């Protein structure tokens, strides 16, 4: 069972903190965190328009702070979920020799909304569409988490 789940995106201010908070709301017993492959926004709260869109669905992002993904995350978590193929490349580039922690695309779980990545709302400005996809994927992940 994956008890410790890390979400990873580029900035850690839009997609991965939203995924972290949505999954935590559905699964308060799991250890869940998020990180960015970049250090551009380290220490910052989630992007204000994402906080606003999430708050409208009852998801509070205000206490979260961005941090950069690091090599220790491969041992601190049982499952690493990335938002797109570039995140996956950037994460895999840091994998220590011998480490086998699974790194999977979060959208693998979004069976109701077929997507091969979570489009970045920092660029698309579609914060609600992003949250719809995250909520779908998180619901399926919640159902599957005991088997992973």
User: Which one of 11-19, 70-78, 89-97, 98-106 is the stretch in contact with ligand 4NP (CB under 6 A)?
Assistant: 11-19
- Judged by CB under 6 A, which of 6, 7, 12, 110 binds ligand 4NP? 12
By the rule CB under 6 A, 14 interacts with ligand 4NP:
yes
Within 33-62, the residues that bind ligand 4NP by CB under 6 A are 40
Both structure tokens of 91: 């994460």
CB 73 within 8 A of CB 104: no
Distance CA 61, CA 104 (A): 23
Residue 122 within binding range of ligand 4NP, rule CB under 6 A: yes
CB closer to ligand 4NP out of 20 and 120 = 120
60 is catalytic: no
54 and 18 in contact (C-beta within 8 Å)?
yes
Question: Using an 8 Å Cβ cutoff, are 82 and 105 in contact?
Answer: yes
61 contact partners, CB below 8 Å, separation of at least 6: 17, 18, 21, 45, 46, 50, 51, 54, 55
- Cβ 35 to ligand 4NP shortest distance, Å: 10
Binding site for ligand 4NP (CB under 6 A): 9-15, 40, 120, 122
């Amino acid at each position: 069972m994956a008890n410790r789940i890390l979400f990873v995106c580029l900035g850690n201010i839009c997609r991965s903190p939203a995924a972290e908070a949505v999954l935590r709301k559905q699964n308060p017993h799991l250890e869940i965190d998020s990180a960015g492959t970049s250090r551009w926004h380290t220490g910052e709260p989630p992007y204000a328009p994402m906080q606003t869109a999430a708050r409208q669905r009852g998801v509070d992002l205000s206490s979260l702070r961005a941090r950069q993904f690091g090599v220790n995350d491969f041992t601190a978590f049982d499952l690493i979920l990335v938002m797109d193929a570039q995140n996956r490349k950037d994460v895999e580039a840091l994998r220590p020799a011998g480490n086998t922690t699974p790194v999977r695309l979060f959208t693998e779980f979004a069976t109701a909304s077929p997507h091969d990545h979570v489009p970045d709302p920092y660029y698309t400005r579609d914060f609600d569409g992003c949250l719809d996809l995250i909520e779908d994927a998180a619901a399926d992940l919640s159902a599957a988490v005991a088997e992973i």
